[in-house]
Every structure is written in structure tokens, then in C-alpha cells.
Amino acid sequence: MLVLGIESTCDETACAVVRKGDEILSNVISSQIDLHAAYGGVVPELACRRHIDLIIPVIQQALDEAKINFEDVDLFAASQGPGLVGAIMIGFNTARALSLALGKPFIGINHVDAHLYAPLMHTKNLHFPCLGVVLSGGHTSLINMKSLFSYETISGTVDDAIGEAFDKTAKILSLPYPGGPQIEMLAKQGNRLAYQFRAGRVKGAPLHFSFSGLKTAVLYAIKDKELSFEEKCDVAASFQHAAFQDVIDKTVLAAKQYNCSRIVFGGGVTNNQHLRRMFSEQAGHLEHYWPSVGLSLDNAAMIAGLAYHQYKHRGGDTLDKEVFTFI
């Protein structure tokens, strides 16, 4: 069974063809970083216009690389949300139109659920329950994954998502967008003990996240100072380490509370090698799964892959299905 998946929730226009949930025949991602960099973040209206320009060429490239035609596709899938509504509509409506025109089924996929499918895509004989840890530009959540089809959100962020905190901190340091990779790069040359940063604790909710105070602490620490390159590296290293220590502490706590020793990481921030090392050092005794290269940042292979399993489990969606934007 061949699934064509489309992803357009934010600033990546992506299309992938995946066979039976795990064999990736193509995974085309067109990033809009160049477009948004000048503004220091994603401008929704510009993102939508770029999606409109790119969606058809990106789909055509995915078909070409997979060496198939539209007629070979068995199921059309698209991200249904959460994300920028206008942006989602472009990929979602394209998938619905293709489904209608070609008489093939359609299914809408939750983008966050797909991030948690990415690390499992090539894992055989996985046992549930797993503790899902979503670390992306829009989300920071702990999820009790009872099966591939039953997710219960345990906690989330009460303010900034972790990727958002990386991006905003990078902006404070006058680093280009997106900030996550820039912070990681600088942090490699910095001293993480130079600044005593700490992520927020949420009163009465020890598993919830709060990163806006951490970002503000960076702002105050460097206020009115002209930082040298070395000092910027120290800030980046201290910030990054504090953010990840918080994630690891809460993940380990949740694993204990939910009696779950399998951890599944998803989302763009999991690209960070320092996070992966820290987790292995501190909690390597827990069985854990990371997305492979090409599947951690926004992509359509995770959409097409999860779509295969969800379609087998619950069938397709009717074409009057709406996009959603709730978290």
C-alpha cells in the first residue's frame, strides 16, 4: 500500500511517498527559512503564499523520486493540525482534492502524533506503553502512549514551547533564525557553568513546563552588554543545558510516575546532539528512541507513515473533515 503524505503546518512544504508505513520511497522537504529569516520568525501570510507556490512542484518531485504516478497512490494523507490554519489548509485541501479527483481514500493526521511516530517508524516489535516526549517549535509535551492509536497528554508548557525558547533566545543573542541549531553550534564552544540559568517550575504541576522565564533570564543576564563571541557561546551553553536538564528531570519523573521505561522522543529540538548525549548519560538505563536524520524536523514521511497505520485501524476520513488548530 502506497501512501502519499503532505505536511504544511508551518514553514516546510513537504511531500513523501511511503510504502506500508515504513519504506520511504521519497521524502521531499522544501524549507522556507530564507523567506522568514529576515523577520526573525515565521510570518504566516508569507508562509501561506510560499506553500501555494510550492505544493504542486513538491508533490511532483515526491512522485518522481518514488518513480510512481498519481494513479499508483492508494491513500492521500495530510497534516490536519495543530499549526498555522492558513498553511495547513493548503496541504490539507490539496490532499482532499487529489483524493476526490482520483477516487482514492483520504486521511487527516495529527502533526504532533506524527512526530512521535517518526522514531518508531523503523523499530520492530515495539511494546507499549511508551512515554512520548514532544520537543518542537510549537509543543513541549509528555504523552502517555498506550498504543499507536491511544495517546493521553500528561503535561504541556504553560508558556513558550522549548523550540520557541531556543528561537527567542537566539534572537536575543542576535543569531539568525531558526535559533535552535545556532544555539547548539555556539554551545559547543561555551562553558555551560558560566551562567546559573534554570527553567521554570509550575506550582502544583511538577510535570508541566515553563520556558519563558528562562528566556527572560538570558535577556537580563546580557542586558546592555556588548557580548564577545566567547561570551555568547557561554550564554548559549548555559541556556541549552538548563533547558535540557529540565526536560530530562521531568521525563524521568514522569517515567517513574507512569511506571513506563520506554521513552519516545519527537520534534525538531530532538535533532540536538547535546540533548541526546545528556539523556544517555543521565537516563540511559531507560529504553529510548530518537528520530533518525530527516525525520526529526517537520517532514511528510512521518505523516504518510502514521497514516498507513491509522487507516488500517480506523479507515479514512470523509472529505468534509475540518482542519484543527487546538493543541
Burial of 241 (C-beta count, 10 Å sphere; 0-12/13-18/19+)? buried
Which of 7, 113, 160, 184 contacts ligand KG4 by CB under 6 A?
A: 184
Q: Please name every residue paired with 150 in a beta bridge, in sequence order, or none if there are none.
A: 147
Residue 15 · residue 28 · CB < 8 Å: yes
Which residues in the 155-174 window bind ligand KG4 by CB under 6 A? 163, 166-167
Q: Which of 7, 160, 231, 298 binds Zn ion (CB under 5 A)?
A: 298
- Among ligand KG4, Zn ion, none, partner that 181 touches (CB below 5 to 8 angstroms by kind): ligand KG4
Q: What angle do CA 103, 104, 110 make, to 5 degrees?
A: 135
Q: Are 247 and 230 in contact (CB under 8 A)?
A: no
Residue 268 binds to ligand KG4 (criterion: CB under 6 A)? yes
Nearest CA to 92 out of 13, 147, 28 is that of 13
Residue 166's binding partner out of Zn ion, ligand KG4, none, with CB under 5 to 8 Å set by partner kind: ligand KG4
Q: What is the DSSP string of 308-327?
A: HHHHHHH----TTPPP----
Here the cell at position 283 is 537516563
Q: Could you tell me the smallest distance in angstroms from the CB atom of residue 300 to Zn ion?
A: 11
Of 297, 306, 307, 323, the one binding ligand KG4 by CB under 6 A: 297
By CB under 6 A, is residue 190 in contact with ligand KG4?
no
Q: Which three cell numbers stand for residue 160?
A: 513558550
Candidates 72-80, 131-139, 190-198, 208-216: pick the segment binding ligand KG4 (CB under 6 A): 131-139
CA distance 99 to 73: 10
Q: Which one of Zn ion, ligand KG4, none is in contact with 178 (Cβ closer than 5 to 8 A by kind)?
A: ligand KG4
Helix (H, G, I), strand (E, B) or coil at 136: coil
Q: Would you count residue 110 as binding Zn ion (CB under 5 A)?
A: no
- One residue of 267, 291, 305, 316 binding ligand KG4 per CB under 6 A: 267
Residues lying near ligand KG4 in the complex (CB under 6 A) are found at: 10, 136-138, 163, 166-167, 178-181, 184, 267-269, 271-272, 297-298
Residues lying near Zn ion in the complex (CB under 5 A) are found at: 136, 298
